[in-house]
Chain A
Amino acid sequence: MDSHILIQQLANGLVLGSTYGLIAVGYTMVYGIIGMINFAHGDIYMVSAYLTALVLALLGASVSPVVALIVAFVLVVGLTAVFGFSIERIAYKPLRKSPRLAPLISAIGVSLILQNYVQITQGARNQAVPTLIPGGLEWNVGGGVVGITWVQVMIIIVSQLAMGALTWMISRTALGRACRATEQDPKMAAILGINTDRIIAIVFTLGAAMAAVAGVLVTLNYGSFDFSIGFVTGIKAFTAAVLGGIGSLPGAMIGGLLLGLSESLFSGFVNSDYKDVFAFSLLVLVLIFKPSGLLGRPQVEKV
């Protein structure tokens, strides 16, 4: 085993896992609060990638990369959050009192609409964004070179900051308490005066914002994307959420990192064609021995 490959793949896995974690948070929070898998969540991430390209193209070379980066973050995260809020209002809220399957089908509908709309209006071809921040760090390790780009460093730092801020919000603030109360017992929360519809809307908005953070970061990292990335990455992030225990916020982050690390280690040492097979096999194995995921609470039937 070459130590430089190991370190390189660990770094790659950390980067990949961070983005999975950011997107998984949206799945897990929405599931926690209304028990629904938001199948359109991956496509919200995809839209944020297009928004990133749009904002960067509009800014062009007129501003410095750092300014462009900050403007892109603010605009894309803001717009995507509004987008997530609107989808909830239009496609899910009217179905609040319907059987559980109805909003699920609605979510699949939203996902198809977004993919096809973007494909028709933006074209099916790969989109590219120019490299905003070039360069990175390199080290010589045991006869090889380990490299990590500045963008990758930024992915790790920004995703940790975003997760930290979200965790703090949920565990320490009044709004976070209201979210947890609504998750645990929506009827009691309403009796205490919490507008649970508003809390649900906020959770969707936050989830979309976190996906947008991932959208900006990944777009800068890979430099290219198309309309179908929402599906592929969405499935992976959903897997991460289930792996960590759906409904659990730290579970989503740990599930994301675990999935990212195992994918890239498998690619580096075994076979990169089978990395998805390995990732999903890992999921199956965890679910066999711990059906509620790594940090998930077992479902207890409420009486």
Chain B
Amino acid sequence: MALLEFRNVCASYGPIAALNDVSIVVETGEIVTLVGANGAGKSTLLMTIFGAPPCSGGKIYFEGQDISTLQTHEVSRLGIAQVPEGRRVFQSMTVEENLYMGTTPIGDRYLKEDLEKVYSLFPRLRDRRLQRSGTMSGGEQQMLAIGRALMMRPKLLLLDEPSLGLAPLIVNQIFSTIKDISKTGTTVFLVEQNANQALKIAHRGYVLVNGRIQLSGTGKELLGNADVRKAYLGE
């Protein structure tokens, strides 16, 4: 049984179709990536997991359970955390308060232990724990968004464009952290425009074009595919 499965998912914003018959499988322990151009429907697909927008067709299964009818706030309780596009940290809260927010679905049982884990993963956050998160750099806010997601001990971590707008050095650091997180047993579903880096760390990948899955394969296969190289890697 797959951990996460999109089965023939369709979604639209009003009359505009955003996703058309999308089927994706994410197995436990994998890093799966979805690459595609701006506007292909990548973020929409991640948000259908949270019912915003809801699937207008097809179903989404998590551990075999149909989750396509759940309300947004009910989803995280199953063990699904999202690092959203644009990070969306709570700007006027401190770093530590943002991390507390991540414990919402599981309560504060593991608070101390998990804070320690996040701080050792991102030492920069420890230095800034009482600073308002809105005053930090983009890279630091990205670390915070990932840390906040990890605070709920997710089975599945969804990341939406974690490299967006960050300096190359920070991007490398974020991708190597994603690999480390995966090694601790968390399944990762990564949505990226940065196809090169994403496909390098992913076990498998899918290519989304205009709301449809056009290609799929292992990370290596897709990296070697001539069409992918031409469309997303600038060759």
State whether A180 and B72 are in contact (beta carbons under 8 Å apart), knowing that A174-B100, A191-B82, A192-B104 are contacts in the complex: no
Say yes or no: B91 contacts A184, CB within 8 Å: yes
From the candidates A174, A180, A184, A195, name the one contacting B73 in the complex (CB within 8 A).
Answer: A195
Please tell me if A187 contacts chain B, counting CB pairs below 8 Å: yes
State whether A188 and B73 are in contact (beta carbons under 8 Å apart), knowing that A174-B100, A178-B104 are contacts in the complex: no
Chain B residues lying within 8 Å of A193, measured Cβ to Cβ, are: 73-77, 104-105, 152
* B158 nearest CB neighbor, chain A only: A191
Whole-angstrom CA separation of A178 from B97 in the bound complex: 10
Chain B residues lying within 8 Å of A195, measured Cβ to Cβ, are: 73
Chain A residues lying within 8 Å of B108, measured Cβ to Cβ, are: 174
Whole-angstrom CA separation of A194 from B91 in the bound complex: 17
Chain B residues lying within 8 Å of A177, measured Cβ to Cβ, are: 93, 97, 100-101
Q: How far is the CB of A269 from chain B (nearest CB, A)?
A: 40
From the candidates A174, A184, A185, A190, name the one contacting B50 in the complex (CB within 8 A).
Answer: A190
State whether A180 and B90 are in contact (beta carbons under 8 Å apart), knowing that A190-B50, A192-B76 are contacts in the complex: yes
Please tell me if B92 contacts chain A, counting CB pairs below 8 Å: yes
Residue among A174, A177, A192 with the highest chain B CB neighbour number at 10 A: A192
Residue among A181, A184, A185, A191 with the highest chain B CB neighbour number at 10 A: A191
Chain A residues lying within 8 Å of B54, measured Cβ to Cβ, are: none
Chain A residues lying within 8 Å of B76, measured Cβ to Cβ, are: 191-193
Chain B residues lying within 8 Å of A187, measured Cβ to Cβ, are: 52, 72, 88
Please tell me if B219 contacts chain A, counting CB pairs below 8 Å: no
Q: Is chain A's interface secondary structure helix, strand, loop, or mixed overall?
A: helix
* B97 nearest CB neighbor, chain A only: A177
Say yes or no: B77 contacts A184, CB within 8 Å: no
Please tell me if A196 contacts chain B, counting CB pairs below 8 Å: yes
* B50 nearest CB neighbor, chain A only: A191
Whole-angstrom CA separation of A193 from B50 in the bound complex: 10
Chain A residues lying within 8 Å of B92, measured Cβ to Cβ, are: 180, 184
Say yes or no: B88 contacts A188, CB within 8 Å: yes
| Binary contact readout B62-81 vs A (1 if CB under 8 angstroms, 0 otherwise) | 00000000011111110000
Please tell me if B102 contacts chain A, counting CB pairs below 8 Å: yes
Say yes or no: B72 contacts A191, CB within 8 Å: yes
Please tell me if B84 contacts chain A, counting CB pairs below 8 Å: yes
* B149 nearest CB neighbor, chain A only: A192
Q: How far is the CB of B90 from chain A (nearest CB, A)?
A: 5
Chain A residues lying within 8 Å of B100, measured Cβ to Cβ, are: 174, 177
State whether A184 and B90 are in contact (beta carbons under 8 Å apart), knowing that A193-B77, A194-B73 are contacts in the complex: yes
Q: How far is the CB of B178 from chain A (nearest CB, A)?
A: 19
From the candidates A181, A190, A194, A196, name the one contacting B93 in the complex (CB within 8 A).
Answer: A181
Say yes or no: A180 contacts B50, CB within 8 Å: no
Chain A residues lying within 8 Å of B91, measured Cβ to Cβ, are: 184
Say yes or no: A196 contacts B73, CB within 8 Å: yes
Say yes or no: B105 contacts A181, CB within 8 Å: no
Whole-angstrom CA separation of A48 from B92 in the bound complex: 34
Whole-angstrom CA separation of A192 from B84 in the bound complex: 11
Q: How far is the CB of B84 from chain A (nearest CB, A)?
A: 7
Say yes or no: A194 contacts B104, CB within 8 Å: yes
| Binary contact readout B46-59 vs A (1 if CB under 8 angstroms, 0 otherwise) | 00001010000000
Say yes or no: B93 contacts A180, CB within 8 Å: yes
Whole-angstrom CA separation of A195 from B100 in the bound complex: 16
Q: How far is the CB of A198 from chain B (nearest CB, A)?
A: 9
Say yes or no: B88 contacts A185, CB within 8 Å: yes
Q: How far is the CB of A85 from chain B (nearest CB, A)?
A: 19
Q: How far is the CB of A178 from chain B (nearest CB, A)?
A: 7
Chain A residues lying within 8 Å of B72, measured Cβ to Cβ, are: 187, 190-191
Chain B residues lying within 8 Å of A196, measured Cβ to Cβ, are: 73
Whole-angstrom CA separation of A272 from B221 in the bound complex: 83
Q: How far is the CB of A130 from chain B (nearest CB, A)?
A: 47
| A:159-209 near B, CB below 8 Å | 174, 177-178, 180-181, 184-185, 187-196
* A186 nearest CB neighbor, chain B only: B72
Chain A residues lying within 8 Å of B52, measured Cβ to Cβ, are: 187, 190
Chain B residues lying within 8 Å of A189, measured Cβ to Cβ, are: 101
Q: Would you list 21 pairs from A and B whose C-beta atoms are within 8 A, ordered by A residue?
A: A174-B108, A177-B93, A177-B100, A177-B101, A180-B90, A180-B92, A181-B93, A184-B91, A184-B92, A184-B93, A187-B72, A190-B50, A190-B72, A191-B75, A191-B84, A192-B104, A192-B105, A193-B73, A193-B74, A193-B105, A195-B73
Q: Which residues of A contact B (CB under 8 A)?
A: 174, 177-178, 180-181, 184-185, 187-196
Q: Which residues of B contact A (CB under 8 A)?
A: 50, 52, 71-77, 82, 84, 88, 90-93, 97, 100-102, 104-105, 108, 148, 152
10 closest cross-chain pairs (CB), A and B: A193-B76, A190-B72, A193-B105, A193-B104, A188-B88, A190-B73, A195-B73, A192-B104, A184-B90, A191-B82
